[in-house]
Structure 1
């Protein structure tokens, strides 16, 4: 797994992003501070140089005269061997003296009141920093105004900027390294409980469903509780499965043992009539076993929480007619009157066709096996309802809730498996329907209803 697909990598990325942004801002601030500091330092040198020159300007022979002190320019020529230029200009803008005719600055409307101002200029393909000092003679004979223009190349400024930036950069990089190391340790320490949780899960016996007992932070404690809830549900599912397997093995053991006993007894007989009687008993036991096995498979499918039936719009009238056609012959042979009472108009519900047929099959089979002589399947429209009513012995009110549990039979003659109504109840839950048991017509028999939610056409 790559770092980008891990929680550790994502935390590092999200925490490193503001850290890198802060580092970039600090570098930008360091660069701006270094540039401003270098400019202030050299501008002060420009100020001192222009002042030293201005103090040496005098009035002789009816004109301005300058005796330039060497130190006035040497202070600007540092280790970077910068080139320094100066120029003395009278108030009419005429060049009086200097080693270069430096240009005038015209956009000085915002600095007219200042004795000194600075500009970055390009002169004769040289990038210069120009300082202009406006002054006048201090003598009593003349108050002549003049300008002292001093400029120098930028090598020293750039070198000073880089030197200041390197000093700041060392501190920034040191703080950045410390922050990254702290971040790595913090993220690793924060994820350590998750690592302990992962190790605890990996080292568990796969056969145990006991809850996790592990001290964790609040956020991971919620995950631990969710896992414990899942384990509790799995314990309940396993308990139900174990109980179901035990009940199913008990239910299947009886008919299979009966078949084996009947076959063994038949092998000891010599009369064909006795063989015929034994074969009839074996056939009946085999049918009961096959029906029980089919019901167990149906109940297992319904108990599977991952199984979701595909619900499609179905007409309950069609379901009833199909069930009557499928079971009419068997009921007629058993002397049972099977009929249908359908609605005049279609009654549509969202349902699974095979599950509804499975429910009707179990209800018809239950009624026929428990002694009903007349069975009626019907449909009502408001709300959509599917019912089956018989004239059999019925189920007492005290037993109606118990018979919905698997393997609970209403009688002890061994004919029923106790799964029919449990299957119907499971199908009702899958469809969001309500299963209800009540007395039949005139207080006789049993009426079973499935009330479906309203469904748009």
Structure 2
């Protein structure tokens, strides 16, 4: 299985995403802190250098005079060999002395006290960090103001920033590696119960449907309970299938045994009339057995959960007319009056034609076998309904629900298989129709109604 489609991979992806975001933020913060620390350290050097220069400024011969100590500039030139510039300016802004005429700070004014103002600037193609100190002479006879401007290039700052960043980066990468390792171990440990559940399911005998007994966390315990509920339903389905197979075997074994016994007796007899009677009986039994086999196949197909019938628009009136035409001869030979009362126009539903014809065939056959002398097929509108009504003995109200079970027969006279109404019920469920069993219009007989939903436009 590819990692992208596995639960393990998805958990890693979702947990690694905030971890990577946090790592990126830490890297940004480390870079910002390294720059701020480097600037703060070198700004203190600017402060010390400008203060050392300012302390050497004197008034001599009617003008400002500076005896610059070498240490004042040496402290700004570190191992990175930065270029250092300074300038002394009087209160009128005239350049007095220095190795460069540095520009004034835009935030400095005449009222500024003995303060140092910093800024980054581009000057003659050089990236500089400048410090401007506003000060005055300490002589009590002359308090003239002046300005010391000191600047140096950024090589030392950048070198210190990179060194600090490398140190922070090593720590961040170490913590990141530890976090990734912890994440991998945590995800693997969290999914271990799921692995145990998978192994338990694979190790089970496919023929057993007993519940799973496995200690799991709450989330997987819910999955275990869902699986156990599925196993319960599967046991119920298998029990129903075994019962159905047993009943079907019994229903088929009885007529087949009768055919075999009848044929054996006929072979021992030499009278042609006895042979004819035996063949007539065998033919009738064969027809009932074939009918039973067809009903068993229909019921099996309807009970298959994977079977999905394709519904299409159809007319219930057309289904009723075809059913009357197909069963007219057999009903007439049995002395049964078969008729139809169709609604005007078209009664449209979404359904499967052969299933509705199978339902009508079973209802007609049930009514004829149980003694009805009149069978009426009808259709109604709003909502669409299909009705089969007869004047037979009917079904008692307390036994109508039992009549929908397979192999349940209203009487034990050898007629019928007890599958007709079960098949009709299955067809109604596949059409999402409501099946109701009631007494006939005059209080006798049986009225079977299938109520369909209105077809979607």
Query: Which residue in 1 is equivalent to 2:32?
Result: 32
CA distance in 1, matches of 2:111, 2:346: 95
Query: Which residue in 2 is equivalent to 1:285?
Result: 285
Query: Which residue in 2 is equivalent to 1:179?
Result: 179
Count of aligned pairs between the two proteins: 457
Query: Which residue in 1 is equivalent to 2:101?
Result: 101
In the TM superposition, residue 439 of structure 1 has moved relative to its aligned partner by 3.5
Query: Which residue in 2 is equivalent to 1:233?
Result: 233
CA distance in 2, matches of 1:129, 1:90: 22
In the TM superposition, residue 67 of structure 1 has moved relative to its aligned partner by 1.0
For the 8 Å contact 2:87–2:100, the answer to whether it is kept is: yes
Q: 1:400 to 1:61 in 2, by over 3 A?
A: closer
Q: 1:410 to 1:151 in 2, by over 3 A?
A: same
In the TM superposition, residue 385 of structure 1 has moved relative to its aligned partner by 3.0
How does the TM-score come out when normalised to structure 2? Answer: 0.94
CA distance in 1, matches of 2:183, 2:382: 67
For the 8 Å contact 2:114–2:135, the answer to whether it is kept is: no
Indicate whether 1:391 and 2:391 are aligned: yes
Q: 1:445 to 1:54 in 2, by over 3 A?
A: closer
Q: 1:289 to 1:113 in 2, by over 3 A?
A: farther
In the TM superposition, residue 116 of structure 1 has moved relative to its aligned partner by 1.4
Query: Which residue in 2 is equivalent to 1:195?
Result: 195
Q: Secondary structure at the match of 1:139?
A: coil
CA distance in 2, matches of 1:94, 1:189: 76
Query: Which residue in 1 is equivalent to 2:148?
Result: 148
Q: Secondary structure at the match of 2:189?
A: helix
Q: Secondary structure at the match of 1:339?
A: strand
CA distance in 1, matches of 2:65, 2:382: 118
Query: Which residue in 1 is equivalent to 2:426?
Result: 426
CA distance in 1, matches of 2:446, 2:106: 111
In the TM superposition, residue 255 of structure 1 has moved relative to its aligned partner by 1.2
- After TM superposition, the structure 1 = structure 2 runs for residues 312-331 of structure 1, keeping only pairs within 5 Å, are 312-331=312-331
Q: 1:110 to 1:292 in 2, by over 3 A?
A: farther
- After TM superposition, the structure 1 = structure 2 runs for residues 364-379 of structure 1, keeping only pairs within 5 Å, are 364-379=364-379
> Alpha-carbon deviations, 1:67-121, whole Å to 9, x = none?
1111111111112222212122222322222222223334546994562111212
Q: 1:437 to 1:152 in 2, by over 3 A?
A: closer
Indicate whether 1:259 and 2:259 are aligned: yes
> Alpha-carbon deviations, 1:183-208, whole Å to 9, x = none?
11211111111111111111111111
Query: Which residue in 2 is equivalent to 1:306?
Result: 306
Q: Secondary structure at the match of 2:104?
A: coil
In the TM superposition, residue 228 of structure 1 has moved relative to its aligned partner by 0.9
For the 8 Å contact 2:91–2:110, the answer to whether it is kept is: no
For the 8 Å contact 1:111–1:117, the answer to whether it is kept is: no
CA distance in 1, matches of 2:353, 2:411: 31
Q: 1:319 to 1:92 in 2, by over 3 A?
A: same
CA distance in 1, matches of 2:231, 2:262: 46
In the TM superposition, residue 131 of structure 1 has moved relative to its aligned partner by 1.2
In the TM superposition, residue 443 of structure 1 has moved relative to its aligned partner by 4.3
Deviates more, 1:381-390 or 1:228-237: 381-390
Deviates more, 1:342-351 or 1:126-135: 342-351
- Please, which runs of 5 or more residues in structure 2 have no aligned partner? none
> Alpha-carbon deviations, 1:390-417, whole Å to 9, x = none?
2333334443332221111222222211
> Alpha-carbon deviations, 1:23-69, whole Å to 9, x = none?
11111111111111111111111111111111111112222211111
Query: Which residue in 1 is equivalent to 2:343?
Result: 343
CA distance in 2, matches of 1:384, 1:54: 106
In the TM superposition, residue 254 of structure 1 has moved relative to its aligned partner by 1.0
CA distance in 1, matches of 2:75, 2:22: 39
For the 8 Å contact 2:375–2:388, the answer to whether it is kept is: yes
Q: 1:74 to 1:386 in 2, by over 3 A?
A: same
Q: 1:170 to 1:277 in 2, by over 3 A?
A: same
How does the TM-score come out when normalised to structure 1? Answer: 0.94
Deviates more, 1:104-113 or 1:72-81: 104-113
Q: Secondary structure at the match of 2:389?
A: strand
In the TM superposition, residue 306 of structure 1 has moved relative to its aligned partner by 2.8
In the TM superposition, residue 433 of structure 1 has moved relative to its aligned partner by 2.9
Q: Secondary structure at the match of 1:128?
A: strand
Deviates more, 1:50-59 or 1:115-124: 115-124
For the 8 Å contact 2:113–2:135, the answer to whether it is kept is: no
CA distance in 1, matches of 2:62, 2:44: 33
- Please, which runs of 5 or more residues in structure 1 have no aligned partner? none
Indicate whether 1:213 and 2:226 are aligned: no
Query: Which residue in 2 is equivalent to 1:7?
Result: 7
Query: Which residue in 2 is equivalent to 1:406?
Result: 406
- After TM superposition, the structure 1 = structure 2 runs for residues 65-76 of structure 1, keeping only pairs within 5 Å, are 65-76=65-76
Indicate whether 1:353 and 2:340 are aligned: no
CA distance in 2, matches of 1:109, 1:87: 17
CA distance in 1, matches of 2:303, 2:10: 40
CA distance in 2, matches of 1:383, 1:52: 104
